Amino acid sequence: MEIHSVQFVKGVIGSEGLPKLALPVVAFFGRSNVGKSSVINSLVRQKEMARSSSSAGRTTEINYYLVNDGWYLVDLPGYGYANRPQAVRAKLEKHLSWYASTDEVHFLWVVLIVDAEIGAKDSDRRTFKLFREYGRNVIILANKADKGGRNDMMKSIEKLRKEFPNCPVIRYSAKTGEGRIELLQTLFAEEGK
Ligand SMILES: Nc1nc2c(ncn2[C@@H]2O[C@H](COP(=O)(O)OP(=O)(O)OP(=O)(O)O)[C@@H](O)[C@H]2O)c(=O)[nH]1
Ligand SMILES: [Mg+2]
């Protein structure tokens, strides 16, 4: 599977605004600043398609990108960004929970991105539980694998494999492109389950 074409479709704010065309979705969840937008850019090999930023809280809408005219890549706002006012954070997290659980979206995969060095946090575990409740196919993507020492990184990935034994765990770097082929193969090997 290669990516031949990609175009921005729309940013969804409320629960009414999903794209009319119901195509399979690969959605990227994760804590704020973990690199969701960067992973999408690295996957489609376009530097600035999904807006990424060194300051957390960059993505504020549920952004839909149409790929190969056949499926959507969805870039989500991050959860757990401490500097947002509590009310804004609560609203955003409610919106994310709605999106993760709605039957209006046909999820091929949800990709839960964690920081390869830090591993999964409680907010990630809560999100994972929600995916499981709704029967989503989950990939754990350990991003920023270019950072940190080799041994620590290996231990950290091993820990993720133990913690999420039933999911593919992929070591990834949006910066170097490590893991890109493995992610594409995993996304399309089984067309979900
Ligand atoms: N070293 C390294 N830095 C990365 C990698 N991926 C992302 N970053 C950096 O991490 C920061 C956040 O990246 P974003 O892609 O904006 O993160 P996000 O998860 O979309 O953030 P929000 O939209 O705020 O939730 C940026 O400074 C990126 O350059 C990676 O694989 N390696
Ligand atoms: Mg983002």
Q: Angle at the Cα of 109 (from 107 to 112), degrees rounded to 5?
A: 120
pLDDT at 192: 43
Phi, psi of 61 (to 5 degrees): -120, 165
Percentages of the chain per state (helix, strand, coil), in multiples of 5: 30, 25, 45
pLDDT at 190: 57
d(C-alpha 149, C-alpha 151), whole Å: 6
Among protein residues, the one with the nearest Cα to ligand 1's atom 7 is: 35
Q: Which ligand is nearest to the CA of 77?
A: 1
pLDDT at 193: 43
Neighbours of 60 (CB within 10 A): 14
CATH 3.30.70.1350 fits 6-189, yes or no: no
Residue ranges with strand state E in 13-163:
25-30, 62-67, 71-75, 107-115, 138-143
Q: Which ligand 1 atom minimizes the distance to the CA of 51?
A: 16
Strand 138-143: give its sheet, edge to edge: 6-12, 62-67, 71-75, 25-30, 107-115, 138-143, 169-171
Phi, psi of 57 (to 5 degrees): 85, 20
Centre of ligand 2 to C-alpha 107, Å, is 19
Residue of 42, 53, 124, 127 to mutate, ligand 1, most atoms within 8 A of C-beta: 53
d(C-alpha 184, C-alpha 172), whole Å: 12
- Ligand 1: which residues within 6 Å by Cβ? 30, 32-38, 52-54, 56-59, 77-78, 143-144, 146-147, 173-175
pLDDT at 74: 96
pLDDT at 141: 98
* pLDDT tens readout for residues 43-69: 998 877 777 667 777 777 899 999 999
Centre of ligand 2 to C-alpha 27, Å, is 12
* Domain residue extents for the chain: 6-189
Weakly modelled stretches of the chain, pLDDT under 70: 52-53, 190-193
Among protein residues, the one with the nearest Cα to ligand 1's atom 11 is: 54
Q: What's the pTM?
A: 0.94
Q: Which ligand 1 atom minimizes the distance to the CA of 143?
A: 31
Among protein residues, the one with the nearest Cα to ligand 1's atom 2 is: 144
List 7's β-bridge partners, or say none: 66
Note every long-range contact of 10-14, with CB atoms under 8 Å and residues 24 or more positions apart, other chains counting: 10/63, 10/64, 11/61, 11/62, 11/63, 11/64, 12/61, 12/62, 12/63, 12/64, 13/61, 13/62
